[in-house]
A and B are shown apart, each in its own frame.
Chain A
Amino acid sequence: GENVEQHPSTLSVQEGDSAVIKCTYSDSASNYFPWYKQELGKRPQLIIDIRSNVGEKKDQRIAVTLNKTAKHFSLHITETQPEDSAVYFCAATNYGGSQGNLIFGKGTKLSVKP
């Protein structure tokens, strides 16, 4: 089955710097890769996702890149702000396959220092 590795587990940056979180997956059939942000005591919320037919997607300060050959995808946050502090989870799935459930990475705790 699918396995998702996420690095780093913790990340501390200064406000205004960029943050990069990387994930690798094992199942080459995976074709949908969402990223969730979970603030302390709150529910995970989708911030961006990418499907396997594109290599990059951007939404304001957030971007995701996908390398299907290497089986890894990354979240890029530019001009970080204190409110970006949260735990970020990547996930992968083969939607349309028999096992279409999301497999999550273990999470990255991002701290943005003012």
Chain B
Amino acid sequence: KAGVTQTPRYLIKTRGQQVTLSCSPISGHRSVSWYQQTPGQGLQFLFEYFSETQRNKGNFPGRFSGRQFSNSRSEMNVSTLELGDSALYLCASSLVLAGEDTQYFGPGTRLTVL
């Protein structure tokens, strides 16, 4: 089976712009979780989607949003980008709800905000 894929792998944006990141889970997986990874804060949970519904949300501002499609692919959107949004954004998929089954991570999207 193909692993979790993320597109694009690298992005450079300027402050105030918005960005959309995409995640394709492993075939058959229904849960997609998003994480922000930075050197100072480590891996921080953004949100989890299961069967097209947001199940959990981390402690991030409303500028961060997401959605999941019927084929389980997920997108994450960040509006009004700030310098502090520069990070590696990782998504992870699992067969069922996160925690009930192993999460498999994608390679990440490296976002740089100038």
Contacts and interface: CB of A to CB of B under 8 A. Distances in A.
Interface of A: 32, 34, 36, 42-46, 49, 89, 91, 93-96, 99-107
A32 B107 contact: no
Interface of B: 4, 33, 35, 41-45, 48, 55-56, 58, 90, 97-100, 102-108
Contacts of A93: 98-99
A34 B58 CA distance: 19
A23 B106 CA distance: 25
Contacts of A44: 43, 90, 105
A108 B104 CA distance: 20
A78 B78 CA distance: 42
Contact of A107 (B42, B55, B58, B102): B42
